[in-house]
Amino acid sequence: MGHGGGQHKKAPGIVVRARRFVAECGFAVAAVDVPGHGDRPKDEEYDRIATENQARVEAGEELAPLIAGFQALVARQTVPEWRTILDAVQSFEHVGAGPVGYWGMSLGCGLGVPFVADEPRVRAAVLGLGGALASAEAAARITIPVEFLVQWDDERVPRAQGLALFNALASAEKTLHANPGKHGEVPAFELDSTLRFFARHLG
């Protein structure tokens, strides 16, 4: 699971979903702090870029391109990290080399798209609250089933960018879930759909 920006591996939403994945589907779940979040040490370069981006937004620049550029930079570090972590998790006897799913919203989507595109062990993904500015090329390499969430009134990721990312996915089976509301207002019932989606594709 990939957490959102400013969150961490033990954020309430991550914990709630992880518990239900384990209890209702019998899945093993791993969530990892991305650089500069949670228990990770501060990263001076990432902090500098975040501060500069905030100043640029306050000066009137659009937020979405700045987020996209930052996510593309961080993904260069997280994708190989996550592949190594997946190796380690699958080495546990109680986990093994079964099919893998990925869940990630917002930052978790921005980093998850290149991870899913490059990791053949991932068989299904739930992604959303992300846009095509940094991820369209990687999305075009994703062919697994995807459930994709868009918040219709998202103030951080323009609706057109979210729909463009969904369109860029090369998956033969992809489903768009669009709900009214802002970036952080994904309805709680979407978790039920996520559970059914992963149960169907991961067994």
Structure tokens at 191: 């978790």
Percent of the chain with pLDDT over 70: 100
Which amino acid, one-letter code, is at 199?
A: A
The pLDDT of residue 140 is 97
DSSP string, 98-149: --EEEEEETHHHHHHHHHHHH-TTEEEEEEES--STTTHHHHTT--S-EEEE
Q: How far apart are the first and last CA of the chain?
A: 18
pLDDT band at 74 (very low <50, low <70, confident <90, very high): confident
Which amino acid, one-letter code, is at 156?
A: R
* DSSP conformational letter for 31: -
In whole angstroms, what is the distance from residue 162 CA to residue 183 CA?
A: 11
Q: Classify the C-alpha dihedral 7-9-10-16 as positive or negative.
A: positive
Are the beta carbons of 103 and 194 closer than 8 angstroms? yes
> Torsion angle of alpha carbons 60, 66, 67, 71, nearest 10°?
-170
For the chain, how many residues are written?
203
Sheet strands side by side (includes 122-128): 100-105, 122-128, 146-151, 174-179
Question: Which residue in this structure is represented by tokens 């868009």?
Answer: 150
CB 92: neighbour CB atoms within 10 A?
A: 9
Question: Which residue in this structure is represented by tokens 């640029």?
Answer: 56
Distances (CA, A) of 133 to 81, 89, 101: 23, 31, 24
Are the beta carbons of 197 and 22 closer than 8 angstroms? no
What confidence tens digit (pLDDT) does each residue in 123-143 have? 999 999 999 887 899 999 999
What confidence tens digit (pLDDT) does each residue in 13-64 have? 999 999 999 999 999 999 999 988 889 888 788 788 878 878 888 888 887 7
The pLDDT of residue 99 is 93
The pLDDT of residue 44 is 82
Helix or strand (DSSP H, E) at 194: helix 190-202
